């Protein structure tokens, strides 16, 4: 099978299968061999690696991954692409294609079944309509992940890397910092895709932490606090948390914890670092007498 990274080959296969791009699935296929090579290189894929690819499309990047990795598992939601992938990946014995929605799969089970629970590398040109849910699902699944190398909207890449006090800083920045170290490894213009997306793109590599960078007694509570403070971005942190009906903390309790941290009672969530959210969460739960989030 010819390399799909060459646009002419992509056009041919799309014509052969009379394929219509589905906007609802975020289908923008890569057609630039340099970008494809760069992604696989930046992901550091070697002969020992097991790779999970999310959304293989017609198999363009999958071909590159199969050339470098020990094994590739490609999860594609669009059933119309399954026969196409049967043809474009026919030369490779080290690939399995699953016709599934990545958000509905038990990723722990997948890692266990296909890679005996050993660390997985994720590589994808992500469908932009569900970038954040996919990233959060990968993080929160607690699947052993080595790295996640993904094409995302440039604006999402900025949010992942954002620092406290900037307008891009939010729950995604904090989740990324908690689970990984993020590095933008390249910017990709719209003309590298078919059809061209309306936004600019960037490739981000998330090197997943082996150990948590902060000590937090209750991870779930910390993320509930983070969400409460960014849901009401214009409010003070103390008001955001105490107004959240799913959280059992009154304003005074939050203000007292902030005072112990030598922070102003009027501070907004967007000013707090990951370390400070972890400390706030630990102070609010106390040593023994814990209060669980309600919802």
Please state the closest distance from residue 56 (CB atom) to ligand SAM, in A: 5
Residues 258 and 276: beta-carbon distance below 8 Å: no
Closest residue to bound ligand SAM by CB: 55
Please state the closest distance from residue 226 (CB atom) to ligand SAM, in A: 25
Please state the closest distance from residue 43 (CB atom) to ligand SAM, in A: 13
Instruction: List 148's β-bridge partners, or say none.
Output: 122, 206
Q: Which of 5, 13, 29, 72 binds ligand SAM (CB under 6 A)?
A: 29
What is the 3 state secondary structure string of 201-218? EEEEEEEECCCCCCCCCC
Q: Does 285 bind ligand SAM (CB under 6 A)?
A: no
Q: Does 239 bind ligand SAM (CB under 6 A)?
A: no
Which tokens go with 65? 């991954």
Residues 84 and 56: beta-carbon distance below 8 Å: no
Q: Does 107 bind ligand SAM (CB under 6 A)?
A: no
DSSP state of 131: H
* Window contacting ligand SAM (CB under 6 A); options: 12-20, 100-108, 206-214, 239-247: 100-108
Q: Does 110 bind ligand SAM (CB under 6 A)?
A: no
Q: Does 27 bind ligand SAM (CB under 6 A)?
A: yes
Torsion of CA 153, 157, 160, 161, to 10 degrees: -160
Torsion of CA 56, 59, 60, 66, to 10 degrees: 100
Q: Does 37 bind ligand SAM (CB under 6 A)?
A: no
Q: Does 26 bind ligand SAM (CB under 6 A)?
A: yes
Please state the closest distance from residue 200 (CB atom) to ligand SAM, in A: 14
Closest CA to 255 of 275, 245, 241: 241
Distance in angstroms (rounded) separating the CA atoms of residues 84 and 9:
13
* Window contacting ligand SAM (CB under 6 A); options: 98-106, 139-147, 211-219, 225-233: 98-106
Please state the closest distance from residue 216 (CB atom) to ligand SAM, in A: 30
Q: Which of 51, 77, 172, 208 binds ligand SAM (CB under 6 A)?
A: 77
Cite the beta strand spans of 136-281 per DSSP E. Answer: 145-153, 180-188, 193-194, 201-208
Q: Does 5 bind ligand SAM (CB under 6 A)?
A: no
Q: Which of 13, 19, 28, 131 binds ligand SAM (CB under 6 A)?
A: 28
What is the per-residue binding string for ligand SAM in 126-155, x denoting contact by CB under 6 A? -x--x-------------------------
CB nearer to ligand SAM: pick between 15 and 234: 15
Cis peptide leading into 195, omega within 30 of 0? yes
Residues 85 and 67: beta-carbon distance below 8 Å: no
The torsion angles phi and psi of 116, rounded to 5 degrees, stand at 50, 35
Please state the closest distance from residue 22 (CB atom) to ligand SAM, in A: 7
Q: For residue 73, what is the enclosing H or E element?
A: strand 71-75
Q: Which of 76, 158, 218, 244 binds ligand SAM (CB under 6 A)?
A: 76
Contacts of 24 (CB under 8 A, 6+ apart): 129
Q: Which residues bind ligand SAM (CB under 6 A)?
A: 25-30, 54-57, 60-61, 75-78, 101-103, 125, 127, 130
């Amino acid at each position: 099978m010819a390399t799909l990274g060459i646009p002419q080959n992509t056009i041919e296969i799309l014509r052969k299968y009379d394929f219509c791009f589905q906007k609802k699935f975020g289908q923008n296929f890569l057609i630039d061999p340099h970008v494809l090579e760069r992604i696989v290189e930046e992901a550091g894929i070697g002969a020992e690696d097991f790779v999970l690819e999310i959304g293989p499309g017609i198999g363009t990047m999958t071909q590159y991954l199969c050339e470098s990795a020990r094994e590739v598992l490609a999860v594609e939601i669009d059933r119309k692409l399954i026969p196409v992938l049967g043809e474009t990946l026919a030369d490779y014995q080290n690939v399995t294609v699953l016709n599934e929605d990545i958000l509905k799969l038990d990723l722990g089970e997948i890692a266990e079944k296909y890679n005996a629970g050993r660390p997985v590398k994720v590589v994808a040109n992500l469908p932009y309509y569900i970038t954040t849910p996919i990233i959060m699902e990968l993080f929160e699944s607690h699947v052993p992940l080595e790295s996640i190398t993904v094409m995302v909207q440039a604006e999402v890449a900025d949010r992942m890397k954002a620092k406290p006090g900037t307008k891009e800083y939010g729950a995604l920045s904090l989740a990324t910092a908690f689970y990984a170290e993020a590095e933008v490894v390249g910017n990709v213009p719209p003309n590298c895709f078919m059809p061209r997306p309306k936004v600019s793109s960037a490739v981000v590599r998330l090197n997943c932490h082996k150990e948590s960078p902060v000590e937090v007694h209750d991870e779930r509570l910390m993320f509930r606090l983070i969400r409460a403070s960014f849901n009401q971005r214009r409010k003070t942190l103390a008001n955001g948390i105490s107004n959240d009906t799913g959280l059992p903390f009154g304003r005074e309790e939050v203000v007292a914890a902030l005072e112990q941290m030598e922070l102003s009672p009027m501070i907004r969530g967007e000013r707090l670092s990951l370390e400070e959210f972890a400390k706030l969460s630990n102070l609010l739960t106390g040593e023994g007498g814990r209060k669980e989030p309600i919802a």
